[in-house]
Amino acid sequence: MGNYVIYPGSFDPFTKGHLNIIDRVVKVFDEVIVAVAHNVAKETTFTLQERLEILKEIFRNRPEVKIDCFEGLLVDYVKKAGTNTVLRGMRTVSDFEYELQMALANKTLFKELETVFMVTDSAYAHISSSLIKQIISLSGSVKEMVPEVVETRLKKKLLKKRES
């Protein structure tokens, strides 16, 4: 393995904003590990298993993008993975406030940890997982904002929910 970076997140769901960050970061690092956070206390639209399946499908022909998951503290996962570099995306000032706090907290927990920030491409600056869920729940199209597999799976979920 060359130099690699861990990209942690909920990815609930994975969006074209996330994809853009990954497409760009592999030009800087040899590999990226997309690490899906499993937070039992947080209710998610897609289960951990579903989020992993979706990511594996999207990146099935991309050996430079590895898919993994973690539970508990990010710093513990990062240490176990044998690296000290974490990637986060940045869209807005509110992202900055939150991300700065997280980066500083993580550094307090693990001194060697480095958080690398990649600024969103302006075409994706408005895209967030929560916005996607809102649009889908109101029967809107999210075609432009998520990969096809995510759109298909979201629609299925919604249909199931309405039937139950």
Q: Where do contacts with ligand ADP occur on this chain (CB under 6 A)? A: 9-11, 15, 17-18, 21, 37, 88-89, 91, 95, 120, 124, 127-129
Provide the minimum distance between the beta carbon of 91 and ligand ADP in the complex, in angstroms, as a whole number: 5
161 is catalytic: no
Provide the minimum distance between the beta carbon of 25 and ligand ADP in the complex, in angstroms, as a whole number: 11
91 is catalytic: yes
CA nearest 18: which of 82, 87, 74? 87
What is the C-alpha to C-alpha distance for residues 51 and 49, in angstroms, rounded to an integer? 6
Query: Whose Cβ is closer to ligand ADP: residue 42's or residue 80's?
Result: 42
Q: What angle do CA 94, 36, 65 make, to 5 degrees?
A: 105
Quickly count: other Cβ atoms within 10 Å of residue 62's Cβ.
13
42 is catalytic: yes
The catalytic site residues sit at 18, 42, 91, 129
